[in-house]
Amino acid sequence: MTAVHESLMTIEEFEELARAADRIAEGVRLEFVDGKLGAKAVPDGDHNRIIQWLIRIFMTVRPDLFLSPEQGLRIERYRKGRARPDGVLADADAFVGQGEWADPAPVLLAVEVTSDDQDTERRDRQEKPRAYADTGIPVYLLIDRETCEVTVYSDPRDARYHRILTVPFGAVVELPEPVNVTLDTEPLKHWVQ
């Protein structure tokens, strides 16, 4: 017997719920990944500082690209979901005219920075790598403030990343093609939980 996965709501119902939550619920953002409704804590100051740090790095070494914070993505191939990465790297005009939930095709890199919430293990370390790989996003960068590690996922094929490299904060790590950026992660030691 084969198990059938059915979502508890449609994409349209999720988007309506997400709009309502943005208006009435402070401190939370909704996502719909793997057919599951998830709540993401609004970033704290250290979380935001990490995103600022990345924006500055990419502006310096890859001025042809821009790291867009909190851009919603349609992760259609992964059980018709919606994700809001902490940052996505793409051409500066990649999301012009697309609205809240954009096509992920131009995304070269998705970034997640862990927060102090109960869903981090499931959402950032399990579901997001599968969702982003299945969507075809070439590189997924996970900055894990709990473990003080950076994990670079790359080479998405067959709904998973085939290359995974984890280094401690303070190490130098290469973000592979098509990003081609070297990150010295030493500053991350200052922004842990």
Lowest mean pLDDT among 15-19, 58-62, 83-87, 132-136: 15-19
Per domain, the residue ranges of the chain are 43-191
CA distance 83 to 136: 14
| R_g of the chain computed on alpha carbons | 16
How much is the average pLDDT of 115-125? 70
Mean pLDDT over 128-132 rounds to: 90
Q: Which of 108-117, 118-127, 184-193 has the weakest average pLDDT?
A: 118-127
Q: Which CATH superfamily is domain 43-191 in?
A: tt1808, chain A (3.90.1570.10)
What pLDDT is attached to residue 115?
Answer: 79
Q: How far apart are CA 10 and CA 8, in angstroms?
A: 7
Q: Which amino acid is at 144?
A: D
The residue among 76 and 24 whose pLDDT is bigger is 76
Report residue 80 as tokens.
Answer: 């018709």
80 has pLDDT over 90: no
Confidence at residue 125, expressed as pLDDT on a 0 to 100 scale = 79
* pLDDT given for residue 1 in this prediction: 37
Percent of the chain exceeding pLDDT 90 equals 58
